Amino acid sequence: MNLILFTFIVLLGFTSYYFGRRKAYTIQSSKKRLTALPQFYGYYLAIWCAIPAFIIFSLWAIFEPTIVKLLVLSDYSNQGYLDDELNLIYEKTKSLSRGQFTGEITPFIEASAEKYLSLRSIAQSSKAVIVLSIIIASVAYAYKRISSNSRTREPVEKFLNAVLFTASLAAILTTVGIVFSLIFQTIDFFKVIPLFDFVFGTHWYPAKAFVRDSSEALDPTMYSDTFGAVPIFAGTFFIALIAMCVAIPIGLMSGIYLAEYASSKVRKYAKPLIEILAGIPTVVYGFFAALTVGPFLKELGTSMGLEVSAESALAAGGVMGIMIIPFISSLSDDVITSVPQSLRDGSYAMGATKSETIKRVIFPAALPGIVGSILLGVSRAIGETMIVVMASGLAANLTFNPLESTSTITAQIVVILIGDQAFGDPKTQAAFALGMSLFLVTLCLNIVALRVVKKYREKYE
């Protein structure tokens, strides 16, 4: 029903566009000058069709359920039911009307289900009638108003402006919403777990916080030595550090090679090949790390007399570094290529060699962009989940030995939220606290990056 109505409105929109344009052509043919191109007259009418339809649809969506509910429940209003019971009756009525009710059917509920259905169908048809008549009225009004010198371009442009504004507003509001839900859950978490214990505690063992009933859940003594986040913060930075040790030199050097040394033929093939690396799903990197690199490192270590865990930070960090190479190499290649040729010429003309030119002129000029690409890589490394989950284990050991297993913030969020969990349980809220800290870290990273880039920027014309 709604779909048919919607299709009908869209058709009406197109028709009014057509009529608007046609009227404009008619005005034009009578040798009067239009104030805008004919299609603006069409858009103008289409907007007069779309806005009322949108307003009525949204009003209906807001008020219809409430009104129907009030009318259905008015039969019960004098019989002394509590609010909760009324809600239950209403839910039963609705599921009965959909034919999904499986309990005992009383005549009362059956009667209200019928009433509910008839109210719904009345609502639907009146909606159709009201929407269509209002649209037609508004389009007709606008059609009459169109004349050679009526303003149509400005309203259309304003409408577009409003649509674009709404789109960006939606994106911003989503961000704000996510951040706030993180903040509130985190605050709840810290009501039970002291902030100090979370930030400075060295034992992370969320499985210990498994509770059977809610009376236990709020007993803070239960959680001592459970949510100490130091091991996973340390693990996160440690693995990211290993990853960057792999990614920065290789990525940067291959970026420099591609931009400055490679012939255009090599560049044409090499760059897309490197960028393919960025298209590999991280899960694939994950099992590459877990099934190939991890065991290989273990064997290599054993043959040298070292004790290497099959799930080592080195395997996870190394593979993560490989994953990040294309970001750094491709971005720094772009940045270096965009340094103006005149600077290169200036340096070569002074008798500088290629490597001197790169080191002393091009690299400094490209530095802000390169720092940007590195920081992008770092935030990828800190946010990466799958490789760590698969290759570095889930036990949060506090260690800086790359040959042992360790865990990261993201991997722990996965551990916490896999399987059954209760909302409002500190174990679940811990995931939000971790998410919040991850968010704060990347936010600080970005702010620092912007500052650094601004301060050390060497501007070229």
65 or 346, CB closer to another protein? Answer: 346
Q: List residues binding another protein (CB under 8 A).
A: 263-264, 340, 342-353, 356, 360-361, 364-365, 458-461
CA distance 17 to 41: 7
In the complex, the smallest distance separating the C-beta of residue 262 from another protein, rounded to whole angstroms, is 12
32 or 360, CB closer to another protein? Answer: 360
In the complex, the smallest distance separating the C-beta of residue 255 from another protein, rounded to whole angstroms, is 19
In the complex, the smallest distance separating the C-beta of residue 275 from another protein, rounded to whole angstroms, is 24
292 or 342, CB closer to another protein? Answer: 342
278 or 343, CB closer to another protein? Answer: 343
In the complex, the smallest distance separating the C-beta of residue 253 from another protein, rounded to whole angstroms, is 22
230 or 352, CB closer to another protein? Answer: 352
151 or 359, CB closer to another protein? Answer: 359
In the complex, the smallest distance separating the C-beta of residue 443 from another protein, rounded to whole angstroms, is 29
In the complex, the smallest distance separating the C-beta of residue 357 from another protein, rounded to whole angstroms, is 9
